[in-house]
Structure formats: structure tokens, C-alpha cells
Amino acid sequence: MPHEVIMPALGMAQDSGVLVAWLKAPGDPVKAGDALMEVETDKATMEVEAAHDGYLTDLCATEGEAVPVGNVVAMISETPEGSGTPAPAADDTPAAAAPAADALPEGRQIIMPALGMAQDSALIVGWSVAPGDKVGVDDVLLEVETDKSTMEVPAGHDGYLAAVLAAEGEDVPVGEVIAIISDTKPDAPVQRSRADTPVPAPSDKAETPAKEAPAASASAPPKPSPKPAPIAAAGDRILASPKARFLAAQEGLDLARLVAHGVPQPFHVSDLDTLRALPTDAPGAAAAPAATAAAQRITADLPADAFAAFTAWLADEGVSGDAALASFAAAALRGASGTEGAVAVDRPGSDPVVFAPQPGQPMGALAPADAAPALVLRDLRRTAIRSMALGAEAVPVPSLTTDGDRLCLTLEGRLHPAHAIAMIDAIAARLTDPLRHIL
């Protein structure tokens, strides 16, 4: 079947992108990961990759044209002749994206961004700002989850959150308007679910709306329209905010127990109190997570020369080798488990240095950060230690040691086995061929 190629939203402030150039001609074969086109926003020019194998057909945008986010620009078809499926008209998108616009306050419309070409929707994990509150351009507005990761989305504008048009736990199509930021403080902020059910603005106490308006209980609680536990059935994926995941890992709490007890997802920090209060199912159940983490040990063996040459080159450029380790580890953790977070590089005899790498951020731009790490990379290359078997760790801890001209990478900590294997393999790949992963 043919697949649509859409104009992605590369940021919350973006409502269109300029198609700088097509990198494939109509009818050319493409594979997933091939660069299809160059797109320019007000901040950067980026290559957009194909999400499927096939042939590039049905081009409906020309070079130099500004295309609204979410509009179809081409198709990837099974044959070079074309898909036979006309692309939707550009005029149809805004009307579908902003229902009941006449009842909404004036301001800048915020849409659900496309965080990848294969993404057609994203789930709202949680709003970080309440309706009516003031926001800055770089303030976190909400957390969204795709099938690959959970990400914090910035506001993109200074102003006030005048309207929230999608509730926590709702799956929202890319390009749909989810909020409005106004220049002036709204007298009556709007809060709705996608079903356009009116939801009163939250009071100082999150519990009050649910108690005072039982008739609207489906949309008024602090977690409107939550999705029930069965969401996790797809690949055993548990929906939770990054902070809740980190604190659960730090305390050795198993979020799967909330799923088993029917607590609605996505989980937030407040749900950890419920988890702590759950009865122990069996005498040995409370110790199970720690025992699993203690038994988890993965080791990778790889050559040392490429990374040694790479860090020597970085030093000549004035870039810390710790920044390289943190950047590689953060990217591997993100790709393996979808976890975004800071990385601490720990060496014996010195204080750990914490970095918070962002996707696509150059290593030279990294600086020490004041953040709780989601992963600790223990660098033991300058010690006599060659192997270890430690107890349970609060967060994943890959350790790097040397053995002659080889590097040894060992993981101790709490991660899903599949995520642990994928993460160690990804870190090893970056240390073996570092230049390939930064170019």
C-alpha cells in the first residue's frame, strides 16, 4: 500500500516548512532512512528521511514552496508509476485541525508536532502548564509519547496558555491544534478534550473539580480522559512521564504493578504514592526488582584504538572526552528505551560530571548540568580494574574498562532486558566507530 510523505513539524513554533530541494526524483527507488528532501524552518535546514521502502511518486510540492505542517508532499508507492491516490487538498488541513475555532480565544495556535516521518499521531502524557498560566518560549508545555520515545515539548512562544484542546491520555493526530498561547492573560481559559467536552479550568487543588462536578467526571479529574491499563499491551509498553520513570527506577519501584492493579495510564509522579502503598503480593515480591537488577549483567568487547584516536582529536578541538561519552550514552539510551535524561560520567577519585545532551546537539556545545542522571557511565579505563559484579544500581550503570588494546563495556542496573542489550550494543557501536555516529 502507498504511504504518505508529510511536511513534518520540527518544532512547536513551526506551522510550515520551505521545501528547499528534492533529493530523489519521481519514480526513484527509496529505502527507509534515505534522505528524501531538504526542509527549511526559521531555525534550521534539515534533511527529511523516508520512513518506508518503495518508490517516490505523486510529488505535490515544488522546490521553494512553503508547505503547511502535516500536508502531504509526496507518496512512497509499491511501483514507480504512482500510488493512484490523490493527496488531500492543502485547504482541507487547517479546517480539520482547528474545530470550533470561533469559540476559542485569539492567539498563536500550537499543533501536535511530527517527531518523525513515520509518525501520524502522538499521545499526550501530561501538560506541564495549567490553562491561564504564563509561559516562556523555552518552557516545557507538555510531554508527548510516540512509539519510540517520550519527549518534552517547549512552548515556542512567550505569553499565556489561553486554551488546552486535548487532554492527558489522548492520542492526537499530527498537525491538529492542541493549544493556544495568547499575548494577554485570558479572563476565562479554555480546557477541552478532543471530543469538545467543556472542562472547567483547574483550581488550586487538583481534586476539587472531580468532587464538585460528578456529572463531568469523565473529563474533569486531574487526569482527563485517561487511557486504561490495556494500553501497555502493545509490546508491554508502559506510559509514564520521564520524571516518574526516573524516580521509580531510583527507588526500585516496578511500574508494571500499577498496570496489574488497574491504575489508569499514563503514570505521573503522584501515582508513585499509590505504587508505594500497594500490598506486597508475596513474601519475596518486594525484593524481586532488586534481585532482577543484581542478576542483570551484560558485557561487550571492542577495540580501543578508534575511540582513543577520536578523544585525542576532540582534545585538540577543545572538547572534553567526557562530553563524547555522555553524548554517546544518552543517544544509546534514547534509542534503546525511549528514555530522555542526563548522563553522569564518573571516574574514581573525582566527582561525577553530569551532562544533559539533547538530540542533535554538538558535543562541543555540551556543558556540565545540574540534573539528576538517568544513567551513570563509570569510566575505569585508567584503573587496574578489568571485571566486576556489583549489586543493584538505582539507574543503569555501564562501566568502561581496558584489557590490553581492547575496551570492555559492562552494564549493571535496572533496564528491560531487550532495552539493556540494545543500549550496550549501541554504545559499543559508537565507541568502535565514533566518527560514523557524529557525521
- Walk me through the domains of the chain, giving residue ranges and CATH numbers: 3-93 (2.40.50.100), 98-216 (2.40.50.100), 229-278 (no CATH), 294-437 (3.30.559.30)
What pLDDT is stored for residue 152 in this prediction?
79
What pLDDT is stored for residue 262 in this prediction?
80
Q: For the stretch 14-44, what's the b/e string if a residue is b when 16 or more beta carbons lie within 10 angstroms of its beta carbon?
A: bbbbbbbebbbeeeeebeeebebbbbbbeee
What pLDDT is stored for residue 392 in this prediction?
60
What pLDDT is stored for residue 196 in this prediction?
63
Q: Label the pairing between strands 177-182 and 297-303.
A: unpaired
Q: What is the pTM of this model?
A: 0.38
Within a 10 A sphere around the Cβ of 65, how many other Cβ atoms?
A: 14
Local confidence band at 259 (pLDDT 50, 70, 90 cut-offs): confident
Local confidence band at 21 (pLDDT 50, 70, 90 cut-offs): confident
Structure letter (DSSP) for residue 369: -
What pLDDT is stored for residue 11 in this prediction?
57
Mean pLDDT across the stretch 211-231? 37
Mean pLDDT across the stretch 329-358? 88
Local confidence band at 47 (pLDDT 50, 70, 90 cut-offs): confident
Q: For the stretch 112-143, what's the b/e string if a residue is b when 16 or more beta carbons lie within 10 angstroms of its beta carbon?
A: bbbbbbebebbbbbbbbbebbeebeeebbbbb
Determine the Cα–Cα distance for residues 434 and 437; give it in Å rounded to an integer.
Answer: 5
What is the residue-averaged pLDDT of the chain? 76
**194-203, 227-236, 362-371: least confident range:** 227-236
What backbone torsions phi and psi does residue 132 show, to the nearest 5 degrees?
95, -15
Mean pLDDT across the stretch 104-109? 86
What pLDDT is stored for residue 132 in this prediction?
92
Q: Is the pLDDT of residue 237 over 70?
A: no
Local confidence band at 338 (pLDDT 50, 70, 90 cut-offs): confident
Determine the Cα–Cα distance for residues 303 and 42; give it in Å rounded to an integer.
Answer: 42
Instruction: Give start and end residues of each alpha helix (H) in 52-179.
Output: 92-97
Q: What is the pLDDT of residues 68-90, one digit of tens each?
A: 877 888 888 888 887 555 444 44
Q: Is the pLDDT of residue 419 over 60?
A: yes
What pLDDT is stored for residue 400 in this prediction?
92
Contacts made by residues 205-208, CB under 8 angstroms, sequence distance 24+: none
The answer to whether the CB of 5 falls within 8 A of the CB of 36 is: yes
Q: Nearest Cα to 104, choosing from 46, 149, 162, 60? A: 162
What pLDDT is stored for residue 289 in this prediction?
42
Q: Is the pLDDT of residue 50 over 50?
A: yes
Mean pLDDT across the stretch 56-73? 85
What backbone torsions phi and psi does residue 249 show, to the nearest 5 degrees?
-65, -40
Q: Is the pLDDT of residue 169 over 60?
A: yes
Q: For the stretch 189-225, what's the b/e string if a residue is b when 16 or more beta carbons lie within 10 angstroms of its beta carbon?
A: bbbbbbeeeebbebeeeeeebeeeeeebeebbbbbbb
What pLDDT is stored for residue 151 in this prediction?
77
Say which residue, 203 or 346, is predicted with more confidence.
346
Give the DSSP H or E segment for 10.
Answer: none
Mean pLDDT across the stretch 33-39? 84
Q: What is the pLDDT of residues 300-331, one digit of tens each?
A: 899 999 999 998 998 888 888 899 999 999 99
Q: Is the pLDDT of residue 226 over 70?
A: no
What backbone torsions phi and psi does residue 122 show, to the nearest 5 degrees?
-150, 150
What pLDDT is stored for residue 329 in this prediction?
92
Determine the Cα–Cα distance for residues 208 and 217; give it in Å rounded to an integer.
Answer: 11
Contacts made by residues 351-359, CB under 8 angstroms, sequence distance 24+: 352/376, 353/322, 353/326, 355/322, 355/323, 355/326, 355/327, 355/330, 356/330, 357/326, 357/327, 357/330, 357/331, 359/331, 359/334
What pLDDT is stored for residue 159 in this prediction?
93
What pLDDT is stored for residue 10 in this prediction?
61
Q: What is the pLDDT of residues 171-186, one digit of tens each?
A: 888 778 888 999 999 9
Which of 23-37, 116-130, 144-158, 274-288 ranks highest by mean pLDDT? 23-37
Q: Is the pLDDT of residue 91 over 80?
A: no
Q: Calculate the dihedral angle through the C-alpha atoms of 173, 65, 104, 157, rounding to the nearest 10 degrees.
A: 90
What pLDDT is stored for residue 384 in this prediction?
87
Local confidence band at 217 (pLDDT 50, 70, 90 cut-offs): very low
Mean pLDDT across the stretch 201-216? 35
Q: Is the pLDDT of residue 242 over 70?
A: no
What pLDDT is stored for residue 334 in this prediction?
86
Determine the Cα–Cα distance for residues 59 and 74; give it in Å rounded to an integer.
Answer: 4
**8-17, 79-88, 233-242: least confident range:** 233-242
Mean pLDDT across the stretch 364-368? 87
- Cα 406 from chain centroid (whole Å): 33
Q: Is the pLDDT of residue 354 over 90?
A: yes
Cα separation values, 111 from 8, 16, 141, 438, Å: 11, 11, 12, 30
What pLDDT is stored for residue 272 in this prediction?
85
What pLDDT is stored for residue 355 in this prediction?
93
